[in-house]
Amino acid sequence: MSPLVRDWETIARGVMGPLRLPRNPIAMGRFGLRAMRSARGFANAGCDRARAGVVCGHCGALGYAAGVQGSAAAGLMLQIAGHAVGWPLPRGGAQSITDAMVSYLESLGGEVVTGVRVESLEELPGVGVALLDVGARQLASIAGDAQSWRLFRYGPGVFKMDWALEGPIPWSALDCSFAGTVHVGGTLEEIAAAEAAVWRGEHPERPFVLVAQPSMFDDTRAPQLRHVAWAYCHVPNGSDFDMTERIENQIERFAPGFRERILARSVMKTSDIEDYNANYVGGDIAGGANTLRQLFARPVSAFSPYRTPIEGVYLCSASTPPGAGVHGMCGYWAALDALKWLRTH
């Protein structure tokens, strides 16, 4: 990882946006040669201990099929970020990020209106420019133009669980207690098989499970001595299969005694995930399938992925480059495009 971690700033600038000519071709070439491989091919080049837990886990977490060309890219990116700057957890939970952004917007004179579902562009009268933070499919219905998005594909959905726990998760491997996120899946072969099954439309007996344990690091999340954790695994898009037992079995396998610590649980199938946020079509929390084509051309073209065929209307969600994640870069690039348009209109 060392040369890639050294080049983190350059790689982040080059990758966290639309397809462009690289400013530093050597650093980007070093990253690109690895990123264009399949996650499985890339993992196989690593040492035994790194193969499953680090490489394939990261790719699987993002819903990539491990055998697909280019599936190493996002996992590798997450891994470099993990080494270079870490994976932070917001104190107080993700809501605190929203609260901070809203308070900044309001300090600039902006206003946030919630509780309104926008069904059509006509509900947004008198706006010079509109940036829509919606998925490619909703854009088609809101803007009444299905043509441009017909090639867009959604990826697997997620089955999500939240637990209130009597104590921390009793991992057999002590190191896991010091990680905010634990990727639970066993060997590379097991993880790859589980994710491939999902892409075939099946529900794996031993799913690849991403577990977060924020209360280990943030005492605002649970009462004293108690803990919370949440997890998800991939399931076929739109699935209504209940993965509760399989997820808990998988955690119990690596943390014997986990079940005895559960005080309460909540589960969300893909339909609950979509009800919670209309952008998560069929439970896909990544804003679209992470295929090689959609890595760059999400959802329309590689050269202007934010501009829609409708004058002054921009897409700024995770359905655009650089894709899912709490990085804000989809909005950043869409805003730059919109500013350019505003200057000439």
Ligand X SMILES: Cc1cc2nc3c(=O)[nH]c(=O)nc-3n(C[C@H](O)[C@H](O)[C@H](O)COP(=O)(O)OP(=O)(O)OC[C@H]3O[C@@H](n4cnc5c(N)ncnc54)[C@H](O)[C@@H]3O)c2cc1C
Q: Give yes or no for residue 287 binding ligand X (CB under 6 A).
A: yes
Per rule CB under 6 A, is residue 160 in the interface with ligand X? yes
Exposure on the CB side of residue 133, measured as CA atoms within 13 A: 9
49 is a site residue for ligand X (CB under 6 A): no
Comparing CB distances to ligand X, the nearer of 40 and 250 is: 250
Q: Which of 86, 125, 326, 343 binds ligand X (CB under 6 A)?
A: 326
CA distances from residue 160 to 68, 231, 248, 254 in whole angstroms, order as listed: 25, 6, 12, 19
Question: What is the pattern of x (binds ligand X, CB under 6 A) and - over residues 264-283?
Answer: -------------xxx----
Q: Taking CB under 6 A as the rule, which mask of x and - marks residues 213-252 in contact with ligand X?
A: -------------------x--------------------
Q: CB-side exposure of 147: number of CA atoms within 13 Å?
A: 4
Q: Which is nearer to ligand X, 207 or 287 (CB)?
A: 287
Interface pick for ligand X out of 176, 197, 281, 318 (rule CB under 6 A)? 318
Exactly one of 133, 162, 252, 272 binds ligand X (CB under 6 A); that residue is 133
Alpha carbon of 228 to those of 164, 177, 257, 263: distances in Å?
Answer: 5, 13, 15, 10
Smallest distance, Å, CB 260 to ligand X?
25
With contact defined as beta carbons under 8 Å apart, do 160 and 232 qualify? yes
Q: Least distance to ligand X from the beta carbon of 319, Å?
A: 7
Residue 204, preceding peptide bond in cis (omega within 30° of 0): no
Does 102 engage in binding with ligand X (CB under 6 A)? no
Residue 283 DSSP symbol: G
Residue 138 binds ligand X (CB under 6 A): yes
238 within 8 A of 198, measured Cβ to Cβ:
no
Compute the distance between CA of residue 298 and CA of residue 155 in angstroms, rounded to an integer: 13
What does the binding site for ligand X look like in residue numbers (CB under 6 A)? 117-118, 133-134, 138, 160, 232, 277-279, 285, 287, 317-318, 324-326
